[in-house]
Structure 1
């Protein structure tokens, strides 16, 4: 995995770093919609800044940022950001959505699992303060995207970590899956509001659902 990133000259530059540049780059889907929105904002989109807090300022954004996890592939985050919020800094992972789900339930992902998969899940659960027996009904993607934010917060020594779902679904599809995940972490999630929880190490973790402008769906 390279640690060298290049400046973007527009949304089309985001296509090249996708896991599947042809399949994932379609009008009305999350990758293209997210790129158009963030490039137009030239900073944090208003709805994302609202969740992070007053005066939130984007320092750097890295599309399709990969975070290594034990025993398997990296977690490829749609965007990883370093953000300043007043006197603090935050490591933020952004998960873009339109109608796409948060992938499979953890119980499905773990079905007939190898020991390697179980080790990976134990790692994720330990980072989040969850018991492996309670995560079956939760969406696996939410687990590793959130842990990615925690890992990068540790690596960059930021004041807090954040995982924000940037959703462009007018129906807020899959919000209940997000709410269930936040509830498992003892949080109460509401659209466009910060949901604060604390990890086992005492690190503050912000979970958020930011409602994107559906005008970007046609970009």
Structure 2
């Protein structure tokens, strides 16, 4: 991926960056719902701003820039972690790296146990890297793999931009809060009892303070 980014003037501009535009750019799907929501907001959507306000460390964060489908390289293979949106924010004099994971009805990819099959040396390297990056001793096989690498990408970009904070935020447009239990199980690895529309401080990993959150999007974007 190059280092020159072109500003989007409409939500449809986001589709070109999807791995499979024909498959994922559809009404009622997360990619399209997320794009319309964030493009309309011209900054943080209302529900995201409100979720940030529940965390003392991130309350008052402003959005400096957002990059759709931002890829972050990981060791152990060629597949990168592709953030639905990556945001660089600022709170007072500190920068904040925010990895946004959009959701409607789709799960957080496979469980770690499913992802590991068939087992390869590269997968072992990646899992060890993700575990260490997140400051965990081990990862239960029932945890969803996508939550691991998306959260790690927030930390890696925080380190790259010398940001003090990293946030992995699920922005879900599911009106039944589909897959929240999987997110909650992941947050529990950091001692967090996760809540809807809330950002929780997890732990300090190196120089970066990690946070996890879930924001509920408006149903109006499911028909856009």
- TM bin, normalised by shorter chain, reads over 0.9
Alignment-derived partner of residue 167 in structure 2: 162
Post-superposition CA distance 1:20-62 (Å, at most 9, x none): 1111100000000000000111110011112223332110000
1:84 and 2:98 aligned: no
Matching residue of 2:195: 190
| 1:97 matched to 2:70 | no
Deviation for aligned residue 1:189: 1.1
Residues 163 and 208, structure 1, Cα contact 8 Å, conserved in 2: yes
TM-score (norm 2): 0.94
> Is the Cα–Cα contact under 8 Å of residues 97 and 168 in structure 1 kept in the other structure?
yes
Counterpart in 1 of 2:133?
A: 127
* Aligned-partner SS, 1:84: strand
Shift of 1:3: 1.5
Q: Contact 2:98–2:169 at 8 Å: present in 1 too?
A: yes
Structure 1 position 202, deviation (Å): 5.2
Asked if the contact 2:83–2:101 (Cα under 8 Å) also holds between the matched residues in 1, the reply is yes
Counterpart secondary structure, 1:23: helix
**1:26 corresponds to which residue?**
26
For structure 2, the residue ranges without an aligned partner over 5 or more in a row are 54-58
Distance of 2:43 and 2:99 partners within structure 1: 15
Q: CA separation of 1:142/1:171 partners in 2, compared to 1, >3 Å: closer, same or farther? A: same
Once residues 91 and 61 of structure 1 are traced to their aligned partners in structure 2, the CA distance between those partners, rounded to angstroms, is 10
| Secondary structure in structure 2 of the residue aligned to 1:16 | helix
- Match among 177, 185, 192 for residue 180 of structure 1: 185
- Moved >6 Å (runs of 4+): none
In structure 1, stretches of 5+ residues that fail to align are none
Distance (Å, rounded) in 1 between the aligned partners of 2:200 and 2:193: 6
1:215 paired to 2:215? no
Question: 3-state SS of the aligned residue for 2:123?
Answer: helix
Aligned residue for 1:43? 43
5 Å-filtered alignment, 1:8-19, equals: 8-19=8-19
How many residues end up aligned between the 2 structures? 218
CA drift of 1:203 comes to 2.4
Return 71-80 or 51-60, whichever deviates more: 51-60
Q: Distance in 2 between matches of 1:213 and 1:204?
A: 29
